[in-house]
Amino acid sequence: MVKYFMLLVNLIFAIAGIFLIGVGTFIQVNAKTYLDFLSDNYLNTPIFIIVLGVIIFVVAFFGCCGAWQESSCMIYIYAMFISVLLICECGAAIAAFMLKSDLKDVMQKKFKDGMQNYGTEGHAGVTNTWNTIQHDLKCCGVVAPADWFNSTYGKIPSSCCSTSTTDDCEEKDAYSVGCLALAEDKFVGNIAVVGGVALGVAFLQFLGVIFSCCLANRIKKSSQYV
């Protein structure tokens, strides 16, 4: 019964590994558009999640083989790997929740700095990022459209208006919502999901360590009586 339960747990681990790979890829793809306004820690997080998902999938496969062949040595090695992953995931969850406050401060600074570089020579990337954010999120400025009047650009860009055909748009026609709040909801929410998933997988792996040790101990005792 322990053997088949362990097989079931590892199947769940394998699915969790695939899910983590998917989540990491999704966040990485979405973040590419906002590279100029995100911290390096945030950009490294999806890569870590993808690598962790691949490792979990491989270790789960190894655990299934050990349980199916009833090899106590393989199961003990599996339990050791899972314990290391469990510690990494708890660390990742803590880092993700700590990153939430840091991300807000970094985004606020980069949004304001980016606005001062909008439309200037050598900052085409920032200009394109601002245009993309304002067009996709239907927002304007950091907090409000009037922020653009205090920037070096001095006017509201056309990306702030859905119907503008000129290089700029009138304040009354611009999106009324600032971009910072919407961007924070988008990316800080992703961080919370990452932390929650990491803790959930870590709990399942804790159960996996317990059952794998029980199974390995039972197999070892059985072999002594044969």
Q: Give residue-wise pLDDT tens across range 135-170.
A: 888 889 888 888 898 888 888 888 888 775 556 678
**Token pair in block for residue 117:** 């570089």
- Predicted confidence band of residue 225 (pLDDT cuts 50, 70, 90): very low
Contact 121, 53 (CB under 8 A): no
- Decide if 165 is inside a domain: no
Q: What is the DSSP string of 35-90?
A: GGGS-HHHHHHHHHHHHHHHHHHHHHHHHHHHHHHT-HHHHHHHHHHHHHHHHHHH
- Predicted confidence band of residue 19 (pLDDT cuts 50, 70, 90): confident
- Decide if 194 is inside a domain: yes
- Decide if 71 is inside a domain: yes
- Decide if 134 is inside a domain: no
d(CA 56, CA 43): 21
- Decide if 182 is inside a domain: no
**Token pair in block for residue 124:** 């085409």
- Decide if 60 is inside a domain: yes
- Decide if 205 is inside a domain: yes
The number of folded domains in the chain is 1
Only one residue has tokens 């979990």, namely 56
pTM tops 0.75, yes or no: no
d(CA 197, CA 23): 10
pLDDT digits (tens, 9 = 90+) for 60-103: 777 777 667 766 677 777 778 877 877 877 777 776 667 666 66
- Decide if 181 is inside a domain: no
DSSP state of 152: S
Range of the domain at 191: 2-119+187-225
DSSP state of 157: B
